[in-house]
């Protein structure tokens, strides 16, 4: 049994809240498709950001990588997809990483737009991590033994998953003062064209030109 599977047995199971989005079915479908594509790019496609670009599939080996993917899908995929179909019916930029409010007032009222309008506006809201994904994976890799016996060998697996996929507070946030158990992915406005060249930190809240290394992790934080 994976270490990460022990917490649910102890009663720490992620609860699925009642969640009703007031947007039309067509708008919700567009938003879920967008979230699903982000999930795939992050984790499940062949050249995913975590597995391929950050090298964690090779670092873990196929069996442990598959175990990690299964854990992430069970514990985080549903809430990750819910992030773009909120019960409020609004998608809003959360402002800059340092807490500065969004200067653009970027917002999509899902109740007032058509599915086509929503689809055109969605690329302007990016799912941004508090800790840079490459940084999380680098610290995760360093924290593992040379030849790990599991994807979470010697580390807190649920914490690694929360840092990578946490669009909501983890259940352990209720009994911990550590901010790493809080929501880790926020919507921030960005250029719809994408790419570092098209992105300017003074114009958008999501700065893709610079990694979030002011939010740094240590190996000890994952243990």
Consecutive 10-residue averages of pLDDT for the chain (223 residues): 52 59 96 98 97 98 98 97 96 93 94 97 94 95 98 97 97 87 95 60 73 77 90
Inter-axis angle of helices 133-143 and 157-165, nearest 10 = 170
CA-CA-CA-CA dihedral for 99, 212, 165, 151, to nearest 10: -150
How far is residue 209 from each of residues 54, 74, 131, measured CA to CA in Å?
Answer: 17, 32, 14
94 by DSSP, 3-state: which? coil
Q: What is the pLDDT of residue 169?
A: 95
Note the helical H segments in 83-204: 115-121, 133-143, 157-165
Q: What is the pLDDT of residue 203?
A: 80
Q: What is the pLDDT of residue 198?
A: 55
Q: What is the pLDDT of residue 223?
A: 85
Beta bridge partners of 126: 188
188 by DSSP, 3-state: which? strand
Q: What is the pLDDT of residue 155?
A: 96
Give the Cα separation of 221 and 85 in Å (integer): 32
Output the pTM of the full model. 0.86
What is the residue-wise DSSP string for 36-91?
HHHHIIIIISTT-IIIIIS-HHHHH-HHHHHHHHHHHHHHTHHHHHHTTS-TTSEE
> DSSP class of residue 3?
G
């Amino acid at each position: 049994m994976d270490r990460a599977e022990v917490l649910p047995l102890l009663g720490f199971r992620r609860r699925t809240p009642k969640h009703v989005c007031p947007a039309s079915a067509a708008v919700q479908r567009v938003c879920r498709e967008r979230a699903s594509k982000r999930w795939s790019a992050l984790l499940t496609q062949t050249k995913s950001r975590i597995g391929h670009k950050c090298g964690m599939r090779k670092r873990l080996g196929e069996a442990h990588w598959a175990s990690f993917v299964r854990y992430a899908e069970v514990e985080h995929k549903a809430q990750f997809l819910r992030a773009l179909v909120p019960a409020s019916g609004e998608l809003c930029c959360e402002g800059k990483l340092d807490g500065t409010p969004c200067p653009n007032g970027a917002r999509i009222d899902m109740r007032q737009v058509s599915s086509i309008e929503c689809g055109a506006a969605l690329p302007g809201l990016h799912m941004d991590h508090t800790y840079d994904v490459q940084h999380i994976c680098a610290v995760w890799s360093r924290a593992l033994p040379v030849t790990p016996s599991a994807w979470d060998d010697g580390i807190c697996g649920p914490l690694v998953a929360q840092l990578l996929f946490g669009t909501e507070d983890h259940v352990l946030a209720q009994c911990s003062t550590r901010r790493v158990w809080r929501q880790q992915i926020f919507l921030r406005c960005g250029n719809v064209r994408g790419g570092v060249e098209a992105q300017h930190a003074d114009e958008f809240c999501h700065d893709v030109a610079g990694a979030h290394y002011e939010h740094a992790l240590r190996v000890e934080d994952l243990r």
